[in-house]
Amino acid sequence: MAARRVSSLLPRSFSASSPFLSRSQGRNLNNGSRIVRRFGTSSAAEEVISPSVQVSYTKLLIDGNFVDAASGKTFPTLDPRTGEVIAHVAEGDAEDVNRAVKAARKAFDEGPWPKMTAYERSRVMLRFADLVEKHSEELAALESWDNGKTYEQALTAEIPMVARLFRYYAGWADKIHGLTVPADGNYHVQTLHEPIGVAGQIIPWNFPLLMFAWKVGPALACGNTIVLKTAEQTPLTAFYVGKLFLEAGLPPGVLNIVSGFGATAGASLASHMDVDKVEISICLLLAFTGSTDTGKVILGLAANSNLKPVTLELGGKSPFIVFEDADIDKAVELAHFALFFNQGQCCCAGSRTYVHEKVYDEFVEKAKARALKRVVGDPFKKGIEQGPQVDSKQFEKVMKYIRSGVESNATLECGGGQVGDRGYFIQPTVFSNVKDDMLIAQDEIFGPVQSILKFSDVDEVIKRANDTRYGLAAGVFTKSLDTANRVSRALKAGTVWVNCFDVFDAAIPFGGYKMSGNGREKGIYSLNNYLQVKAVVTPLNNPAWI
């Protein structure tokens, strides 16, 4: 599958007409009811669609069996459309992590998985990918129900990517090898690339299945065993695909899945003495204040236990830079997608929109108009572009930042309120006249809030774009190849998209600079996260050549 922007797989459905708000109405947060009616929204008062999928797996997957938590505790996973309970899920804690690690260790030390030929491992992964496609509608329904993302996005974009990622890493399984190294003296030297052992993995709630694939795929291809902790907000699809892996022939204990909370299950996994590696993606999860703070805690837990290596994919505050030569209509649409995709709950979202002063006013008016056309409602309804935020905490966090923007004297062009009277729906929100020192320009909001800033020249915008603690991604929109080359090389970010955004492919590496994390996921680079390199040196007795 060729690399492509995620939105190319989604339906482009807008409301027939959406009158613009006046600036006075846009600034007035107390005019919520009037603002809602002027958005192309699906009324939250309407009956929500009941997903046609059964929640069958809510227990921990340990050593090939679905089991209750040792404590017997469960916790509710909620429907973000209504706040109502979907199901009660087993609440794993330290004892359950111990059981899962024990199973993974036994499967690695004594089981068949690391001793299988690489080709046999790849066949299991390929069978799994086939099963993902076979059950794509059920998986998409569970993902949308548990997370709030649109069903169309899950079905047409994310589930196919999951299958593609596993096929990609299945292809790598029998191509992992070491080298023969020339050395001074009569010695034969070879390097072996060996699986690292038991991998602990913690996935976030914004793309549960995709992040599952990003981590589990390379770990299995390299011959490791896994203990994976789901995000407590979105545990359902991981259990479902865990069952599919067993059906595909994955031996018991190779993949163990624990649902639970960060302060208990997550911390236990990161600090466990028999876990050899930890890899996490964080979107403001666990019991800490934010993704970067959580990453620091995980690093400390890993270091203070057995000094296990850690790969981190943390937050971002990605700049999206529109130069004066840009096609404004195209730039507006791309900037809109870069920010509002997945309800704004994307670590690499283009959440600082820098626009050249010569086209700034035109861009702001068109960005506001596009936001007003965005269709918000039940993510199971056809034509809906934006569902609810994942839970009440995330909803309140986004609303706090909207209030901060207003209090900082940024201009609220549109949005700023809740859609409907239940669930966690937020109006697509656009701020103009944003300054770099405002919180909405500094912090990761993780919601449908676009901040538009003005710049005057290339040197200025490069400096401002880099003046952040994050460095996950960036976007550059220009017709000038010289400008694109200059800026893309100057930006301190792990991914720079030029005249595109959110182009993801199994082969394209992803990761951050600075406090956006360390290491890379996807592509050949992710294999390094799950391999040890061993040098084997053997004397040569009277060799014919060296």
The residues annotated as belonging to the active site are 313
Rounded Cα gap, residues 493 and 483, in angstroms: 17
Rounded Cα gap, residues 267 and 371, in angstroms: 40
C-alpha dist (Å) from residue 544 to 179, 187, 471, 541: 20, 12, 53, 9
* Spatial CA neighbour of 448 closest among 334, 321, 346, 322: 346
Give the three-state DSSP class for 51: coil
* Spatial CA neighbour of 457 closest among 299, 321, 262: 321
E-state strands within 230-318: 255-258, 277-281, 310-313
Residue whose token pair is 């794993």: 92
Helix 208-221 with 236-248: angle, nearest 10 deg: 30
Residue whose token pair is 């809109």: 336
Rounded Cα gap, residues 249 and 278, in angstroms: 25
Q: Using H for helix, E for strand and C for coil, what is the string for 81-149?
A: CCCEEEEEEECECHHHHHHHHHHHHHHHHCCCCCCCCHHHHHHHHHHHHHHHHHCHHHHHHHHHHHHCC
Strands 198-202 and 255-258, how do they pair? unpaired
Write out the two tokens for 448.
């449908």
Write out the two tokens for 79.
């429907």
Give the three-state DSSP class for 195: strand
Classify residue 276 by its DSSP letter: -
Rounded Cα gap, residues 61 and 55, in angstroms: 15
Rounded Cα gap, residues 384 and 428, in angstroms: 13
Rounded Cα gap, residues 410 and 397, in angstroms: 18
List helix spans (H) across 467-532. Answer: 481-490
Write out the two tokens for 372.
């007003």
Residue pair 139/154 in contact (Cβ under 8 Å)? The answer is: yes
Residue whose token pair is 């509608």: 137
Rounded Cα gap, residues 110 and 104, in angstroms: 10
Write out the two tokens for 452.
């538009």
Residue pair 426/380 in contact (Cβ under 8 Å)? The answer is: no
List for the chain the helix, strand, coil content (%; round to 5).
40, 20, 40
Rounded Cα gap, residues 252 and 197, in angstroms: 15
